[in-house]
Structure 1
Amino acid sequence: MILQNTLLKNIEKSEGLARLWTVLPTARLVGGSVRDLLCGRKINDLDLATPEPPERVQELLEAAGITNIPTGISHGTITAIINREPYEITTLRRDEETDGRHAVVAWTSDWKEDAARRDFTINAMSLDQNGVLYDYFHGQEDLEAGHVRFVGTAEKRIEEDALRALRFFRFYARYGEGAPDREAYQAIQDHLNWMDGLSAERIASELLKILAGPRVMETLRPMDKCGLLPHLLKRPDLVSLERLLNCDAPVDSILRLAALYPDNLDVGVQLKLSNADKKRLTMMRGEDPVLELNMSDHEMRRLRFKFALQSILDKSWLTQAQRQGHPDQQWSVFREALSGLEQPVFPLSGKDAQDAGIPAGRFIGMWLQKGQEWWMAQGCVPNKDECLTYLKNHPLQN
């Protein structure tokens, strides 16, 4: 009854779900929404499964005036759009062929057969519109026990899709308690070579989610011990990451990645991260900026002028982790002071040089550079008139 009441409250909040159940009365909520309903967590995506083939789903949605997009029709998925909210509706499936990355599927009307192809027992439950829970593999018991385990045999599930090894640890971080499932751990340890076919993008997606999630060290330690972490990317440094976490650094997967792989200069390239993230990692690895807690206001303004605030803050956390490895009020004050400073902007331009009678060409650059060096030496404080006065009194030497 508690489950039914919880479900009814969510139906009241979701006009779209109520409409879809009118169109597809035998459809059920599946996956993460059921799992999170059971453990009282916030529900993000309301995904449904149905025994109706995808073409029939489209017909029914269109007849009801519901916008739909064939986002993954080859795998049986139609996305319905109601009040700008997406709802994925997937036809029940069974795997015909798998190669460790992709699966060839066929439609089925057997709910248990569809549940049997899912990764973990806690993700294999389904819930109908009457609040009846269908749990073929004891997922509710596992959820209550904090036991993340594969549906069927761990080895078979990982062989079907090697990314499930990483997904196992991501779900273990969020829903697990105690040691990782022994069968899953052993299967991952015994078949590390299965990970070699995974794309960098898929590895990055899961690894960054783990780094941004809960129980980071409790999750990475068994990943490291079973060989998965060093197999994917060489030379992880758990001590360095733990020191960063002990500083109460912000939840930031890229910052944590830099701490986890301080000696792997190519980790951003290896994971095929975005250019922005690769640039950020490169800045964190550079010698500059050099940070000291006793910096004067002038030094801090120069720092803000030369480097982006994000780069300085990143470097401050890594420096604090390296030097102290624990919370430090001085570093907090330092970051607060930096963040409170306005970005200094050098007040002169090429037009100012021309107006001052500086000949075109390299002399303009030399004039601006001389002015900027003096402006920076004064703590990036002088205004335009003061810079012009200085340059007038200190002309370029021929």
Structure 2
Amino acid sequence: MLLDALPDRQGLDRLWAILPAARLVGGCVRDLLAGLVVNDLDMATPEPPEMVQAALQAQGIKVVPTGLAHGTVTAVIDRRPYEITTLRRDDRTDGRHAVVSWTQDWREDAARRDFTINAMSLDRSGEIHDFFGGRDDLAAHRVRFVGDPARRIAEDALRIFRFFRFDARFGTTRPDRGALDAIIAASSLVDALSAERVASELLRILAGPRAVHAVTSMADAGVLVRRLPAAHLHMDRFRRLLDCDPPADGTLRLGALCDAPDLGSILRLSGAQNARLTAMRLSNVLMPGADDDDLRRACARTDLEALLDRTWLAQADELARPDAGWSDLRARLVALPRPVFPLSGRDAVKAGATPGPGVGQALRKVEAWWIEAGCRPDRAGCLRQLDVVLAASPD
């Protein structure tokens, strides 16, 4: 039985004992059928959320009301979350948000989902309920919208990006024509999406499988340039980076695809993500063949993540041929102990520096000397250089 593929069913069986009409829904059913590892178990049930919450709590299960307005509660069993949502229909949508009401009709609930492969459900007996041909589409590596693609997109324009993400993961080299036609016709709808939602989907696309296929399809459909500035898009560089087999890191891949200086603002990225994009665009890059002194100098000035990012982008820029030493360079960077400047302000004061700005100035001069020497001088050598710096400084 399909359910036997789950590594741990104790929590699920406990929920089914309380909510026997509930079913597994969405991505977990799809992934079970595809033979993939299932991480999140989402369920749907005909009972309204208040009844679900009360029934679970009566059996001593912790319940978090994560989305009561949309019929969702989260049961926590042995620290594992199970999201349980009441069957629902969309009464009104505006392309971003939906007003819903409850239903007991499983087909009606499935009809509001995005793609056929995400609209299947699985009951406690192991029977799959598939109203729209999702199982056949999954076997055929075909990603199709449920029902009318234009209507599904009008309900939530983020489904445009989700289509490209799922097509890259489960589709083939030819996306569904009906879906593409609807996306091209409705591409302007992505303009109204929040930058945060777009960024979340885009980073998942870039970090996912067949990212070049997905990005190329988005570009061909006119979607990419609606949210990223065309003058700063570098499709060839992005393809070359992926040819280098980089890590599945959406931020790194975004940096290769688009070098707009205000990209962080355009996508409302976090401060850390924005800082990383800025750092990877700087030009001081280590090249294969750099000696250990060069590596230590670089590591003393720049954090490791930025150095590694720059090597990936440099490899994409410089090479259309095999590795040529880049992997070895990155391995050396990772293995290299981080150089730590051995002096502090207390050392400068003890050596005779007047407390105040002069302490920092003296230390910066010694640190620059230490870095130039490949970060090799030890504490004693740095103290001697500190004496030299202080002796040369005006009183």
Length-normalised TM-score, structure 1: 0.95
Out of 375, 379, 395, which is 1:380 matched to?
375
Q: Which residue of 2 aligns with 1:92?
A: 87
Q: Is the 8 A contact 2:348 2:386 kept in 1?
A: no
1:365 and 1:222 map into 2 onto residues whose CA distance is: 54
Change (3 A) 1:325 1:250: farther
Amino acid at match of 2:317: Q
Cα 1:46/1:361, change in 2 over 3 Å = closer
Q: Sequence identity, in percent?
A: 52
Tell me if 1:279 matches 2:275: yes
- Secondary structure at 1:68 match in 2: strand
The reply on whether 1:239 has 2:209 as its aligned counterpart is no
Change (3 A) 1:17 1:301: same
8 Å Cα contact 2:173/2:213 also seen in 1: no
| Counterpart for residue 152 of structure 1 | 147
- Answering whether residue 28 of structure 2 is matched by residue 33 of structure 1, we say yes
Q: Does 1:14 align with 2:14?
A: no
When residues 133 and 302 of structure 1 are mapped into structure 2, their CA distance, relative to the original with a 3 A threshold, is same
How many angstroms apart in 1 are the aligned matches of 2:70 and 2:124?
24
Partner of 2:306: 311
Match for 1:255: what amino acid?
L
Consecutive unaligned residues of structure 1, counting only runs of 5 or more, are none
2:256 counterpart of 1:259: yes
Query: Could you say which residue in structure 2 is the equivalent of 1:294?
Result: 289
- 1:361-384 deviations in Å (ceiling 9; x for gaps): 333233223322222222111112
Paired amino acid for 2:343:
L
**3-state SS of the aligned residue for 1:328?**
coil
Structure 1 residue 367 corresponds to structure 2 residue 343: no
SS at match of 1:94: strand
Given candidates 341, 349, 353, the residue that maps to 1:358 is 353
* 1:112 positional shift: 0.7
Q: What is the rounded CA distance, in whole Å, between the counterparts of 1:122 and 1:290 in structure 2?
A: 44
C-alpha separation between the residues in 2 aligned to 1:106 and 1:57? Answer: 16
Query: How much does 1:297 deviate?
Result: 2.3
| CA distance in 2 between partners of 1:372 and 1:107 (Å) | 67
Distance 2:370 2:58 in 1: 70
* Residue 109 of structure 2, aligned match among 85, 107, 114: 114
Pick the aligned partner of 1:215 from 188, 193, 210. Answer: 210
90-99 vs 380-389, greater mean Cα deviation? 380-389
Amino acid at match of 1:384: R
What is the alpha-carbon distance in structure 2 between the residues aligned to residue 253 and residue 80 of structure 1? 31
Deviation at 1:326, TM superposition (A): 3.9
Aligned to 2:338: 343
Determine the structure 2 residue equivalent to 1:23. Answer: 18
**Matching of residue 205 in structure 1 with residue 200 in structure 2:** yes
Q: Deviations over 1:98-123 (max 9, x none)?
A: 00011111111111111111111111
How far apart, CA to CA, are the structure 1 residues paired with 2:47 and 2:145? Answer: 27
Structure 2 residue aligned with 1:78, among 73, 86, 89?
73
Number of residue pairs the alignment of both structures matches: 391
Counterparts of 1:117-156 in structure 2 under 5 Å?
A: 117-156=112-151
Given the superposition, is the C-alpha separation of residues 397 and 73 from structure 1 closer, same or farther in structure 2, using an over 3 Å criterion?
closer
**Deviations 1:123-168 (CA, angstroms, capped at 9, x unpaired):** 1111111111111111111111111000110000000000000001
Letter in 2 for 1:100: G
Residues 9/338 of structure 1: CA separation in 2 closer, same or farther (3 Å cut): closer
Displacement over 3 Å in runs of 4+: none
- What's the offset of the Cα at 1:9? 4.7
Separation in 2, partners of 1:225, 1:195:
15
Q: TM-score, normalised by structure 2?
A: 0.96
Q: Is the 8 A contact 2:44 2:87 kept in 1?
A: yes
User: Which amino acid is the alignment partner of residue 16 of structure 1?
Assistant: G
Q: CA RMSD in A?
A: 1.4
Q: Report whether the alignment pairs 1:183 with 2:202.
A: no
